[in-house]
Homo-oligomer: A and B are copies of this chain.
């Protein structure tokens, strides 16, 4: 910029004016500055601008896995909102590791992002308190924050799971298995709770062997489902706690196609669910809407809205496609 000013024979401030399209420069001066910019290949250094202005016009998004088909649309929705606000998106995957979540969040804060959208992997976010106090707006999405009070956008995991399991009960099922993610994950715990609610509301007992929580690794899920199907009180229907479990369940039921058919309802919709035979009945969330709502909440804060932190819960939707309407054997 100094070089441009020297070459154009003007002051620094005049170059700044031209670069930022501010008024108060004669066409003639502006022309000289523009020529110097072109000749020198000058591009404004936003790092310096940011340092001086205080706002970075960037936000950070921490999620579990960018490549997960559930989070990809969420992430894209956040990006679109950010773009509409002239803001850049920095993101990172926590890989479900609390230490990595914290590392990413603090790295973003050190870059002085204006705000954060977080899908947490940990359950204690007090480490964020100084950052929030320092003015970094923060919204949690998909899962709530632990031990701090911040804006949160969730899906109704409890209600969705209850609806899905009630649907199986309505088809006549009495012995229903639940396979979920690690119980520390809020959504997993809530869905299990929804399952129990539905069973209780129908006065059905829940056999201990019908519930399995843990890694969504296919091997573990297979073992769990195998035990439910071949155990002493074999289930006639399965409720899968998320998309990864559902896919493994579909594979497994396919392989056992010769045995008595087992009904299946999964939490989370996924592409091609309608093309399988039977189509997979699911409790669908709207990940893009989660992302959009979270990002809009964030920007409302950045625009200076200062009421108490809010918790938004988005409804789920049961999509009937066939797999959940298989009657009990």
Contact = CB atoms under 8 A, between A and B. Distances in A.
Interface of A: 41, 43-48, 50-51, 56, 58, 65-69, 72-73, 75-76, 79, 83, 88-93, 106-112, 130-131, 133-134, 247, 250-251, 254, 270-272, 275-277, 288
A45 B275 contact: no
A271 B243 CA distance: 12
Given A43-B109, A44-B110, A111-B46, A73 B67 contact: yes
A109 B43 CA distance: 9
A71 to B, nearest CB: 8
A269 to B, nearest CB: 13
Residue of A91, A254, A288 contacting most chain B CB atoms (<10 Å) = A91
A321 to B, nearest CB: 14
A54 to B, nearest CB: 9
Contacts of A250: 272, 275
B90 A58 contact: yes
Given A43-B131, A275-B276, 18 more contacts: A41-B134, A43-B110, A45-B112, A46-B111, A47-B111, A58-B111, A65-B76, A67-B288, A69-B72, A72-B72, A79-B91, A79-B93, A88-B92, A89-B92, A91-B91, A251-B275, A270-B272, A277-B277
A111 to B, nearest CB: 5
Nearest to A129: B41
Contact of A67 (B56, B72, B131): B72
Contacts of A51: 45, 47-48, 51
Residue of A58, A67, A92, A131 contacting most chain B CB atoms (<10 Å) = A67
A270 to B, nearest CB: 8
Contacts of A56: 47
Contacts of A45: 51, 110, 112
